[in-house]
Amino acid sequence: MPTRSRSLIALVASLALLSGCALPRGAAVQSEILAQADKENPSFQVVEVTRSNMSLITSWPPTGPVLDSRWLGTSAGAEQSVIQAGDLVDIRIWDSQENSLLTNAAEKSTVLPNVQVDADGAIFLPYVDEVFIRGLTPASARKRIQEKLEAIVPTAQVQVSLTEGRGNAIEMVSGVARPGSFPMPSRNYKIFGLIADAGGISPTLKNPLVRLIRQGSTYEISARTLMEDGRYNTLLLPGDSVIIEEDYRTFTGIGASSRQTLVNFPKDEINALEALSLIGGLYDVRADPTGVMVLREYTPQQLSRSASRPNMQQVVFTFDMTTADGLFAARKFQIYPDDVVLATESPLAGLQTLLSIVNSGVTTTQRSVAAANAF
């Protein structure tokens, strides 16, 4: 039986190699992917990535959704609040005169609570009519109101306190412990302070992105980059909205790797070696380390006949991970969103699987014969 088993295995292996029959496997072989490139009119471009051409490839345009590089730098603002339309002010007027128009003998002051600043930036005061206070600090508004009252109450003194409305607040929409509307404590309110007041960024977010929406314009930065440099601690303005969410950029890992999945970017930029690590590395038995590929699609506007740009929309970048040159090149090669990282299968992987199946069957037969002989 052992002699016959070995003969059977050898026969199956020989037939598989000679006839090229379909063998059980789970991923494409490198030669299958690249066969199209050898045709007279190929449908995609093949680029072997090496250290010598990395500088050229780096100059090619990025693809997929790319982080908006615009962000506003820091600056200093006033340490006081500024009154805006929609704010509420409490006005207390003191007057010690007898027969005052605004107070009585028992009370030497009167309070006008919750006076709203209208859309034009004015408030209404009895005997005075409109007083425009939008854009003023509470201290400046107090002086203006007192000046208006001097014509009718020369001895009047005024106190003003401010309750800010939504027009004088920042909307923290998501991605923090306590989202909501945050009144500006001063005109020196910055994004670090807002995030702290909102309870910090949620620790469950992977590579969180911070998005600032201001007057129809959107600015975006990763939280890691924001927190690493104080120059990005931008000054907030009334009406700003801030959204913090998980990085929406992904790439796909498929083939002879430990994980075949859609992968979120864990940081702003990742290279080909890091991408392989994120999908669990090459599968030891099945993978072909000389056939790691990155599939990428460019827009028609990004193409050119010159070497400084791709000349076809669909490009297959190939890496030989068995050489130092290939490894160093992969370390410099940047993965873009929507890329496909493909670990091709070794041409011998199917044969190894088949041999394993045959060997398992022979072993089972041997055990069955031995058991029968025992009786």
Beta carbons within 8 Å of 339's beta carbon, 6+ residues apart: 63, 64, 251, 252, 275, 294, 295, 296
Q: Which of 95, 172, 173 is nearest to 127 (CA)?
A: 95
* pLDDT, average across residues 270-290: 87
Token pair 């994980």 in the structure block, residue: 259
Q: H or E segment at 219?
A: strand 217-222
Q: What is the pLDDT of residue 52?
A: 94
Separation of CA 142 from chain center: 46
Q: What is the pLDDT of residue 8?
A: 43
Same-domain check for residues 209 and 265: no
Q: Tell me whether residue 142 is exposed, middle or buried, using C-beta atoms within 10 angstroms of its C-beta: 0 to 12, 13 to 18, 19 or more.
A: buried
CATH assignment at residue 107: 3.30.1950.10
Q: What is the pLDDT of residue 333?
A: 96
Question: Does 80 reside within a domain?
Answer: no
Residue 342 DSSP SS3: strand
Beta carbons within 8 Å of 349's beta carbon, 6+ residues apart: 25, 256, 285, 286, 287, 288
Question: Does 373 reside within a domain?
Answer: no
158: pLDDT strictly greater than 50:
yes
Query: Considering the chain, what percentage of its residues have pLDDT values greater than 90?
Result: 38
Question: Does 79 reside within a domain?
Answer: no
- Which two three-digit tokens encode residue 263? 């992968």
Q: Which of 89, 76, 81, 77 is nearest to 185 (CA)?
A: 81
220: pLDDT strictly greater than 80:
yes
* pLDDT, average across residues 181-187: 88
Residue with the larger pLDDT of the pair 188 and 32? 188
Residue 352 DSSP SS3: helix
Same-domain check for residues 100 and 180: no
Q: What is the pLDDT of residue 320?
A: 93
Question: Amino acid identity, residue 43?
Answer: S
Q: Tell me whether residue 106 is exposed, middle or buried, using C-beta atoms within 10 angstroms of its C-beta: 0 to 12, 13 to 18, 19 or more.
A: exposed
Q: What is the pLDDT of residue 184?
A: 87
Q: Which of 342, 264, 259, 257 is nearest to 46 (CA)?
A: 342
Q: What is the pLDDT of residue 355?
A: 46
- Which two three-digit tokens encode residue 195? 């995030």
Beta carbons within 8 Å of 96's beta carbon, 6+ residues apart: 108, 155
The model's confidence at residue 341, banded by pLDDT at 50, 70 and 90, is very high
Question: Does 74 reside within a domain?
Answer: no
- Which two three-digit tokens encode residue 296? 């990428």
Question: Does 299 reside within a domain?
Answer: yes
d(CA 302, CA 61): 7
The model's confidence at residue 175, banded by pLDDT at 50, 70 and 90, is very high
Question: Does 372 reside within a domain?
Answer: no
CATH assignment at residue 197: 3.10.560.10
* pLDDT, average across residues 92-120: 79
Q: What is the pLDDT of residue 339?
A: 95
Mean pLDDT of the chain: 82
In the chain, how many domains are there? 4
Question: Amino acid identity, residue 360?
Answer: S
d(CA 322, CA 107): 91
Question: What pairs with residue 46 in β-bridges?
Answer: 316
Q: What is the pLDDT of residue 173?
A: 96
Q: What is the pLDDT of residue 24?
A: 52
d(CA 210, CA 201): 10
Q: What is the pLDDT of residue 34?
A: 77
12: pLDDT strictly greater than 80:
no
Question: Does 374 reside within a domain?
Answer: no
Same-domain check for residues 342 and 268: yes
The model's confidence at residue 370, banded by pLDDT at 50, 70 and 90, is low
Comparing 99-108, 136-145, 152-161, 222-231, which segment has the lowest mean pLDDT?
Answer: 99-108
Asked if residue 256 lies in contact with residue 343, where contact means CB atoms within 8 angstroms, the answer is yes
Q: What is the pLDDT of residue 11?
A: 42
Question: What's the pTM?
Answer: 0.65
How large is the angle between the packed helices 2-19 and 349-374, nearest 10 degrees? 160
Interval 23-54: pLDDT, tens: 455 556 777 777 777 777 888 999 999 999 99
Domain boundary among 110, 128, 163: 163
Q: What is the pLDDT of residue 248?
A: 86
Buried b / exposed e along 212-239 (16+ C-beta atoms within 10 A): bbeeeeebbbbbeebeeeeebbbbbebe
Domain of residue 357: give its range: 1-25+348-363
Asked if residue 335 lies in contact with residue 250, where contact means CB atoms within 8 angstroms, the answer is no
Residue with the larger pLDDT of the pair 164 and 103? 164
Comparing 13-27, 69-83, 103-117, 160-174, which segment has the lowest mean pLDDT?
Answer: 13-27
